[in-house]
A and B are shown apart, each in its own frame.
Chain A
Amino acid sequence: MMGRTIFIDPGRCIGCQACVSACRECDSHRGKSMIHLDYPDEGHTVASLPTVCMHCEDPVAPCAEVCPADAILVTADGVVQQADTTRCIGCANCVNACPFGVPKIDLQAKLQMKCNLCYDRTAYGLAPMCATVCPTGALFYGTVEELKAERPGVQVADSFTFGDVVVKTGVAMVVPADKVQWPVPGGLPIVQINGADVT
């Protein structure tokens, strides 16, 4: 199963954005954060949810698949890299293709940027910067066995549904143990296309 990867546990997230700050500080994207935080139930609770690149495995990296310039490389160990600066044309196809809303375009530089799992750190055994600092363990880096040793009974999922499509990812989510639902519903159901009701 999964090797060493990031596990996201929204139940632990306190919305502090240490991950966002840390990502800005890491050497591969210094000055820009590739994580964002969502507030899924605004106005009702303080719940928050960090989103990193999910490093899709099957279908492999939709962002890379649609890239007309072949700028997005997927490494042998499944890490979907940021666009190659010498190839990227800033067309934003990847932004549209990503089911999780991850890649960003720097319009001035005409360059796509995204989380590359801190390849500069993980390649040498360090955890990605976000998962290193996350004060709560909402972002955990390691193997599923290591996670289970720390958190007995934890349940994880690495498959998400978008309509009929199931996407299997390299990064996994912790799901509530008493409500195991797998694959996890990803995104909102499509109810309208160009103003027409499709439900």
Chain B
Amino acid sequence: MTAEQHRATVPLDPSIAPPGTRNFRDAGGIPADRWHADQTGETLVPTHCCFCGVQCGMYLRVDRGGKVFGVEPRNHDINRMRLCPKGINAYQQVNHPDRLTAPLMRRSRDEPFREASWEEALDFTVSEIRRIQSACGNDAFGLLGGASLFSEKTYLVGKFARVALRTRHVDYNGRLCMVSAAGANKLAFGIDRAGNPFSDILLTDCLLIAGSNVGECFPVMTQYVWGARDRGASLIVVDPRETAVARTADIHVALKPGTDSAFFNAVLNVVVEEGLTDEAYLAEHTTGWAEVRAKAAEYPPSRAAEICGVPAEQIVQVARTFAGAGKAMAWHARGIEHHSQGVENCLTVINLCVATGNIGRPGAGYGTITGQGNGQGGREHGQKSDLLPGGRSIMNEEHRRQICEIWGIEESDLPPAGTSMMEMVWQMQRGEIRGLIGICNNPFVSLPNYRVVKEGYDAVEFHAQFDFFLSETAANAHVVFPVTTWAEDEGVMANAEARVVKHNKAQEPPPGVRTDTWVMCQLAQRLGAGDKFAFAGSREVFEELRIASAGTVNDYYGITYERLEETGGIAWPCPSTDHPGTPRLFEDGRTYHADGRIHLQVVDWHPPMDPYSDEYPMSLTTGRTVAHFLSGNQTRRLGALVEQTPRPWVEVHPSLGFRSGDPVRVVTRRGSEVFPALVTEAIRPDTVFVPYHWPVPTSANALTVDALDPRSKIPEYKVCACRIEAGEEVDIVPSPPVAPGHTAYPETQVSRTDPLPPTSPQGRGTAERS
């Protein structure tokens, strides 16, 4: 029996569920009278996980009273029932006792928060915007959005900044996520997305994963990796750590952090030397090959081996395996993107794929793995400082004119490009930005160099934050607007494959809570731009977004809510309502540049920005753990996830002489913190690793450097110079802030201060063993 037949005989959810709600168990063939849940009148709402860029399909279980109370796997073709622990526990945040249910307000940071009415909070916010803008100009007020918002809301963030606030200063936390990959893809292919769908991984003969801990960051993608292995594909993993996927790879290249482009240039060098390039493809479809080839000649394996700290033979082996495969794919993530040469690192991977002719075929191509649920869609429609809806450039006269026409504003009223998220913080520090609204982000945990971030935010005269829990950043604000979770509104997100999926509303928001859309429209109205923001909800915003994207590379025009509900997702570009979408790019050999060619780019390796010295001889690298999401504002409140990974740790090699659990002080030029040691051979002796989901004094990002990639402006999270020394005792993990009048979720109070280190290299050491 084949896998297909197997699935067919198991009476699971047979297909993507129809719009609205329906009784899952009836659909799954379970007699209603035999299942206690049915006695509660349970319904299941088909939707997707709110967290990472896989966007797993799931059902939210809703009780007779209309409240979300559980989760049930859903046979969506992205995840085929699979879920990771974050997805399974996500529903617990919907009715969590820490939820904010009334606006919080204070006139100065010295005062405690008090609950305020919506009228009062909105009016105060608008009067502060007016005060700051009339004194210091429109650009003195900034807006920072988030890539966990639905695309409708990210569209609205960009429009709200430019039309209602009339400021150039808008950016988003996707700036910390995959903008390097986006920049590289745009330069090479003229389009900013992965080239192939996940399902192509199953067809490949060689899978190269660079800088991605797939098992922990995108667990559900692992099924595609193992599926490829079942069919005999070879696996190459490039990562300083021996992650769960690297452990099983044919070749694990444990290179020194920050040396990726030297490595990939050297691989290309071998490919050229051994005559493994696809010259016919290069001649017909690319520009710049001669220069790239000449540059690769400067990186013989012996040179790269020295830079990267890996054997030269391994580089040769990677080149032969990748170029010798009939169909090869490369997927990469933050490990190579979070660098001061993040864009260039991605370009060297693209050069390798293109030089070997691995583009635009089933099982051959490239992909970027997005961290945030809407990391892909979150920047496509104008939330990024230099982009207008449809991925249009704000610097392009024609693009500006088109958008002004759609928005009904004068072109002279449309501000120019602003600066990036980290740069905005520097501007706050210097007093250039004096007021700020943050929506769905938590820079106090997620930005590098915490001291600078705190100074920047403290210097701001007025700060409002939209969130559904009181994040570390919101706790610093003057006004906090309580907004909906993903389960209380509808909207779309684009996953790592650029597949647009629809999230459905599972319950009404708690009393006092409003949607981000409603709050932005209310503020716009009070700012005198109400006519441009007359949206009743996501559906109306999406209709405008479709029109605003029509005819661009990021064309959403053919995507409708109804089609998404019928199909389970459509990959853009999708120019008309009878267009099937574009899961795989470049099948006709043409890119989105005017000449239809791939523009190969020359890359020279340069060392990381934070230099090593006698005082700071080692590399600190950072990343995620499977139980937590980004700044942890959501997952650090969910009992099961806190229990699974209660605290951060520092991974150190046994040769450094520590024992597991020893307090180890990690010192960088920005400061120092103490973590319990997790001694493991799964990391390079010259490198230590700390996961980044926690606030100070256990914050990896208090230690990381705020150096940026000059093109993508992504911070260099993945490498900085450090030293380690014996600490006195480990720093205690602080609890997430809780609003006045709320009680902290009791379960999460138990283990958070547990000073014990994790017992496994993955740091998932508290599995139930009782």
Contact of A27 among B36, B681, B759 (CB under 8 A): B36
Interface residues of A in 114-144 (CB under 8 A from B): 120, 124-127, 129, 132-137, 142-143
Binds A, one of B27-35, B322-330, B494-502, B545-553: B27-35
> Which residue of chain A is the closest to B654 with respect to CB atoms?
A43
> Which residue of chain B is the closest to A138 with respect to CB atoms?
B226
- CA distance in complex: A146, B5 (Å): 9
Q: Are A36 and B679 in contact (CB under 8 A)?
A: no
Chain A residues within an 8 Å CB radius of B85 = 16-18, 20-21
Chain A, interface size: which category? 35 or more
Chain A residues within an 8 Å CB radius of B759 = 39, 42
Q: Is A145 an interface residue (CB 8 A)?
A: yes
- CA distance in complex: A17, B680 (Å): 20
Q: Are A104 and B762 in contact (CB under 8 A)?
A: no
> Which residue of chain A is the closest to B34 with respect to CB atoms?
A124
- CA distance in complex: A135, B215 (Å): 9
Q: Is A197 an interface residue (CB 8 A)?
A: no
- Shortest distance in angstroms between B85's beta carbon and chain A's nearest beta carbon? 4
Interface residues of A in 31-72 (CB under 8 A from B): 32-33, 35-39, 42-48
Contact of B679 among A43, A126, A135, A145 (CB under 8 A): A43
Chain B residues within an 8 Å CB radius of A22 = 83, 88
Chain A residues within an 8 Å CB radius of B221 = 135
Chain B residues within an 8 Å CB radius of A43 = 654, 660, 679-681, 761
Q: Is B594 an interface residue (CB 8 A)?
A: no
- CA distance in complex: A14, B641 (Å): 16
Q: Are B222 and A15 in contact (CB under 8 A)?
A: no
> Which residue of chain B is the closest to A24 with respect to CB atoms?
B640
Interface residues of A in 58-104 (CB under 8 A from B): 104
Q: Are B3 and A17 in contact (CB under 8 A)?
A: no
Q: Are A151 and B681 in contact (CB under 8 A)?
A: no
Q: Are A42 and B760 in contact (CB under 8 A)?
A: yes
- Shortest distance in angstroms between A50's beta carbon and chain B's nearest beta carbon? 9
Q: Is B682 an interface residue (CB 8 A)?
A: yes
> Which residue of chain A is the closest to B770 with respect to CB atoms?
A104
> Which residue of chain A is the closest to B625 with respect to CB atoms?
A16
- CA distance in complex: A55, B31 (Å): 26
Q: Is B84 an interface residue (CB 8 A)?
A: yes
Tell me what chain A mostly uses at the interface: helix, strand, loop, or mixed: loop
Q: Are A132 and B81 in contact (CB under 8 A)?
A: yes
- Shortest distance in angstroms between B32's beta carbon and chain A's nearest beta carbon? 11
Q: Are A135 and B219 in contact (CB under 8 A)?
A: yes
Report if A14-B70 is in contact (Cβ < 8 Å); known contacts: A43-B679, A44-B681: no
Q: Are B70 and A127 in contact (CB under 8 A)?
A: no
Interface residues of B in 235-277 (CB under 8 A from A): 242-245, 247-248
Q: Is A11 an interface residue (CB 8 A)?
A: yes
Q: Are B230 and A150 in contact (CB under 8 A)?
A: yes
- Shortest distance in angstroms between A119's beta carbon and chain B's nearest beta carbon? 12
Q: Are B767 and A135 in contact (CB under 8 A)?
A: no
Contact of B682 among A27, A45, A127 (CB under 8 A): A45
- CA distance in complex: A160, B311 (Å): 41
| Contact digits for B649-665, partner A, Cβ 8 Å, 1 yes 0 no | 00000100000100000
Q: Are B6 and A142 in contact (CB under 8 A)?
A: yes
Report if A146-B1 is in contact (Cβ < 8 Å); known contacts: A15-B215, A27-B36: yes
- CA distance in complex: A37, B84 (Å): 15
- Shortest distance in angstroms between B197's beta carbon and chain A's nearest beta carbon? 18
- CA distance in complex: A11, B3 (Å): 20
- CA distance in complex: A149, B216 (Å): 27
- CA distance in complex: A35, B88 (Å): 15
> Which residue of chain B is the closest to A150 with respect to CB atoms?
B3
- CA distance in complex: A136, B85 (Å): 13
Q: Are A25 and B88 in contact (CB under 8 A)?
A: yes
Chain B residues within an 8 Å CB radius of A137 = 223, 226
- CA distance in complex: A117, B311 (Å): 47
- CA distance in complex: A72, B525 (Å): 66
- CA distance in complex: A172, B626 (Å): 27
Q: Are B644 and A46 in contact (CB under 8 A)?
A: no
- Shortest distance in angstroms between B67's beta carbon and chain A's nearest beta carbon? 16
Number of residues on chain B facing chain A (CB within 8 A): 64
- Shortest distance in angstroms between B763's beta carbon and chain A's nearest beta carbon? 9
- CA distance in complex: A124, B27 (Å): 12
| Contact digits for B635-653, partner A, Cβ 8 Å, 1 yes 0 no | 0000011001000000000
Q: Are A46 and B83 in contact (CB under 8 A)?
A: no
> Which residue of chain A is the closest to B71 with respect to CB atoms?
A25
> Which residue of chain B is the closest to A152 with respect to CB atoms?
B230
- Shortest distance in angstroms between A150's beta carbon and chain B's nearest beta carbon? 4
Q: Which of A12, A46, A126 has the most CB of B within 10 A?
A: A46
Q: Are B244 and A48 in contact (CB under 8 A)?
A: yes
Chain B residues within an 8 Å CB radius of A126 = 10-12, 28, 30
Q: Is B37 an interface residue (CB 8 A)?
A: yes
Report if A42-B11 is in contact (Cβ < 8 Å); known contacts: A12-B226, A20-B644, A150-B230: no
- CA distance in complex: A134, B767 (Å): 15
Q: Are A48 and B1 in contact (CB under 8 A)?
A: no
Q: Are A135 and B84 in contact (CB under 8 A)?
A: yes
Q: Which of B11, B34, B215, B759 has the most CB of A within 10 A?
A: B215
Interface residues of B in 717-770 (CB under 8 A from A): 759-762, 764-765, 767-770
Chain A residues within an 8 Å CB radius of B84 = 16, 18, 133, 135
- Shortest distance in angstroms between B91's beta carbon and chain A's nearest beta carbon? 9
Contact of B219 among A18, A44, A124 (CB under 8 A): A18
Chain A residues within an 8 Å CB radius of B765 = 39
Report if A149-B2 is in contact (Cβ < 8 Å); known contacts: A14-B244, A18-B84: yes
Q: Are B680 and A16 in contact (CB under 8 A)?
A: no
Report if A133-B760 is in contact (Cβ < 8 Å); known contacts: A124-B29, A149-B2, A150-B3: no
> Which residue of chain A is the closest to B231 with respect to CB atoms?
A152
Q: Are A15 and B760 in contact (CB under 8 A)?
A: yes
Q: Is B73 an interface residue (CB 8 A)?
A: yes
Q: Is B220 an interface residue (CB 8 A)?
A: yes
Residues of A within 8 A of B (CB): 11-18, 20-22, 24-25, 27, 32-33, 35-39, 42-48, 104, 120, 124-127, 129, 132-137, 142-143, 145-146, 149-152
Cross-chain pairs A/B with CB under 8 angstroms, 15 sampled: A14-B216, A14-B244, A14-B626, A15-B244, A15-B760, A15-B764, A17-B767, A18-B87, A20-B644, A36-B768, A44-B681, A46-B760, A127-B81, A133-B87, A149-B5
Residues of B within 8 A of A (CB): 1-3, 5-6, 10-12, 28-31, 34-37, 70-71, 73, 79, 81-85, 87-89, 215-216, 219-223, 226, 230, 242-245, 247-248, 626-627, 640-641, 644, 654, 660, 679-682, 759-762, 764-765, 767-770
Given contacts A18-B82, A32-B768, A133-B81, 10 further A-B contacts (CB under 8 A): A14-B216, A14-B626, A14-B762, A16-B764, A18-B85, A22-B83, A45-B247, A126-B28, A126-B30, A127-B10
Interface pairs A-B: 7 shortest CB-CB? A14-B215, A14-B244, A37-B767, A39-B760, A21-B85, A135-B219, A21-B88
